[in-house]
Amino acid sequence: MQLQEILYSQGFGTRRVCAGLIQQGFVQVYGDVAGDAPVLCKDASAEFAPVGLRFRVQGVDWPYVEKAYLLLNKPAGTECSQKPSAYPSIYTLLPSPLRLRPQKAAVQGVQAVGRLDQDTTGMLLLTDDGKFIHRMSSPRHHVPKVYEVTVKHPLDARQVDQLLAGVVLDDDPKPVRAAACEAVSEFHLRLTLTEGKYHQVKRMVAAVSNRVEGLHRSRIGGLALPADLAPGQWRWLSVADLALVSGV
């Protein structure tokens, strides 16, 4: 594949922009031997095998990925929307190539797998793989998501039992149950859900006569939010990570 096509597929701009980056000397390509320094390439039509390719654009190293899978530690005061209404968008936390990856759909770049409220923090997945988004979002696949909930009033065994047995939300006569529920401390509830409804955690807690004061997602599937990933930071998901989050 031509180098300009590789850069285009990774979201570095139009084909013309990608060719310009190469011709102006902003692109270096790594060889097959680990530890070798990247080599400057100014030929936009130079051919490379994209799988496994690593390159440097304007001083930043990038791996070639056919589909992008990311983990973001969402900070408070951000919206999971391309067009936020009141708070900054989570997408501004990502470098432009990830926001501009070309897609056949109308929306470019990686998309959040589900949404977290603007005041909710923690683990958020993003990808440009539509099948992965569907699989992770579908209630049929029962992907567990763990939330650390700070509540206003002291917890008791009755509230935990109610959440496990099921509570009725105002828009659905069918009870919604927690897959797991634990009172970690007097004001700290750990709640595991396998489906996602609008403001579900807040509404479930309200249904047992309490109130959410703080909400943080700490785990999806078998993958926990890394302790060294600060709020606002992101990283690539490895093959092993993907197996943990999706259970495959």
Which sequence spans correspond to the domains of the chain?
3-63, 69-138+231-246, 144-220
Sign of the CA dihedral running 155, 157, 159, 161: positive
What's the start-to-end Cα distance of the chain, in Å? Answer: 31
The candidate with the shortest Cα–Cα distance to 193, out of 150, 184, 203, is 203
- CATH entry, 144-220, from 3.40.462.20, 1.10.10.10, 3.30.70.1560, 1.10.10.60: 3.30.70.1560
Backbone angles phi, psi at 216, to 5 degrees: -140, 125
Could you please report the per-residue DSSP string of 90-143?
GGGGS-HHHHS---SSSS-S-EESS---TT-EEEEEEES-HHHHHHHH-GGG--
Residue where the block lists tokens 């997408």: 91
248 — pLDDT class (breaks 50, 70, 90): low
Alpha carbon distance 56, 131 (integer Å): 29
| Percentage of residues of the chain with pLDDT beyond 90 | 82
Mean pLDDT of the chain: 93
Convert the pLDDT of each residue in 198-247 to its tens digit: 889 999 999 999 999 999 999 999 999 999 999 999 999 999 999 999 86
Superfamily of domain 3-63: RNA-binding S4 domain (3.10.290.10)
Residues in the chain: 248
8 Å CB contact between 47 and 213: no
Q: Which listed residue (117, 129, 161, 170) is catalytic?
A: 117
Structure tokens at 213: 């004061």
Please tell me the predicted confidence (pLDDT) of residue 191: 97
Cα–Cα dist 145/244, whole Å = 12
CB 97 within 8 A of CB 103: no
CA distance 149 to 147: 6
Kindly tell me the burial class for residue 25, based on how many C-beta atoms sit within 10 Å of its own C-beta (0-12, 13-18, 19 or more).
exposed
Q: Give the Å distances, CA to CA, from 85 to 77, 129, 145, 160.
A: 12, 26, 26, 35
Identical fold for domains 3-63 and 69-138+231-246, yes or no, is no
Confidence band (pLDDT; 50, 70, 90) for 174? confident
Task: Give the number of other Cβ atoms within 10 Å of residue 221's Cβ.
Answer: 20
Secondary structure letter of residue 171 according to DSSP: T
Structure tokens at 119: 């005041």
Query: What's the CATH architecture for 69-138+231-246?
Result: 2-Layer Sandwich (3.30)
The question of whether 171 is a catalytic residue gets the answer: no
